Amino acid sequence: MRAVVIGGTGHIGTHLVPRLLALGCDVVSVSRRQREPYHGYGAWKAAEQVTIDREAAEAAGEFGREILALKPDVVIDLICFTPESNRQLVEALRGRIQHFLHCGTIWVHGPAAEVPTRESAARRPFGEYGVAKERIERELLAEARLSGFPATVLHPGHIVGVGWAPLNPAGHFNPEVFASLARGEPLQLPNFGLETVHHVHADDVAQGFERAITHWRASVGEAFHLVSPAALTLRGYAEAVSGWFGHQADLSYAPYETWSEAVPEEDAKATWEHISRSPSVSTEKARQALGYVPRYSSLEAVRESLDALISSGVVKP
């Protein structure tokens, strides 16, 4: 089976390409080649590397044809963010491939009415990213059910892995929050610190894609969540990180409007994006249909990433 992975050197692709090679697939990694994979697994040498500037190719109306020219049986799209981009690819691939897998996001749900949220919950996305991803999901599942296009949509949570800073206990990505907790310094959280975040290790996302491919009959025409076994509250997350360094967390709380005035604007905006959704989603459907069992809890995934940030000097406890 020949698998083409669009965005193969990114967070998910770093782990997915070696998994596909281990399955015996002939793997083509498509990227702009602006960076190497986060991990230089030896298996990567067996993958074919193809350079395509997606934005430029789509503007020329050629991206779908360029992917089709790679003669795929399976296409995995990890970096599609607009319905227009997705349609161009689907039109080129319709009737020509065995399986098409799209990387979505748990943000297709918006605010939850009931937790843990299941895939069948009503969609209430907001913000450009969540709205666009929900539209892509809706169009792909309609294509699968009405015209037989073999699409599967997989929705990761907040992806964590070695090589980048994970979403932190304040709900943004500034690694200094981890350093403050490691040093036992006070940390203020928005509101009561009871909003939730739902992480997932990048390799567990890759596992979900692998299982969707190997469980083709169960996955085509369906959407699945790919997250850790349980979400974290900001407060519980901060307390756990402090405990790793032998401290009891020194936490205080303030209404978001007050809290946001004391942090950089970029951090405040990122926190609002996360706490206004406060995701906590179920993996029951993926477990039953695909046999998906995440190896990492949220805290285990973060701990691995944080250890790497400390080793590289990004976080100074």
Cα(236)–Cα(245) distance, integer angstroms: 15
Residue 55 scores a pLDDT above 70 = yes
| Per-residue exposure over 287-299, b if at least 16 CB sit within 10 Å of its own CB, e if not | bebbebebebebb
Work out the pLDDT band at 35, boundaries 50, 70, 90: low
pLDDT of residue 44: 72
Residue 166 scores a pLDDT above 80 = yes
Identity of the amino acid at 198: H
Cα(63)–Cα(304) distance, integer angstroms: 36
pLDDT of residue 36: 67
Q: What is the mean pLDDT of residues 271-296?
A: 98
Angle between helices 11-22 and 202-214 (to 10 degrees): 40
Residue 133 scores a pLDDT above 80 = yes
Instruction: Tell me the β-bridge partners of 31.
Output: 51
User: What percentage of the chain carries pLDDT values higher than 70?
Assistant: 97
pLDDT of residue 32: 86
DSSP string, 92-157: HHTTT-SEEEEE--GGGS-S-SSSSBPTTSPP---SHHHHHHHHHHHHHHHHHHHH---EEEEEE-
Nearest to 91 by CA among 69, 63, 71: 63
Q: For all residues of the chain together, what is the average pLDDT?
A: 96
Residue 114 scores a pLDDT above 70 = yes
pLDDT of residue 285: 98
Structure tokens of 212?
């969707």
Residue 6 scores a pLDDT above 70 = yes
Helix (H, G, I), strand (E, B) or coil at 234: helix
pLDDT of residue 34: 62
pLDDT of residue 43: 72
Neighbours of 66 (CB within 10 A): 16
Structure tokens of 47?
């993958």
Cα(158)–Cα(188) distance, integer angstroms: 22
pLDDT of residue 45: 80
> Which has the higher per-residue pLDDT, 112 or 133?
133
pLDDT of residue 226: 98
* pTM (two decimals): 0.96
Residue 41 scores a pLDDT above 70 = no
Element (H, E) at 226: strand 223-226
Neighbours of 306 (CB within 10 A): 26
Residue 40 scores a pLDDT above 70 = no
Residue 158 scores a pLDDT above 80 = yes
Domain residues of the chain, as ranges?
2-159+199-226
pLDDT of residue 48: 94
Domain 2-159+199-226 superfamily per CATH = NAD(P)-binding Rossmann-like Domain (3.40.50.720)
Q: What is the mean pLDDT of residues 139-155?
A: 97
Classify strands 232-233 and 196-197 as parallel, antiparallel or unpaired.
Answer: antiparallel
Residue 33 scores a pLDDT above 80 = no
Cα(111)–Cα(281) distance, integer angstroms: 11
Could you report the per-residue pLDDT of 189-231, keeping only the tens digit for each? 999 999 999 999 999 999 999 999 999 999 999 999 999 999 9
Residue 256 scores a pLDDT above 80 = yes
φ/ψ (deg, to 5) at 224 = -140, 145
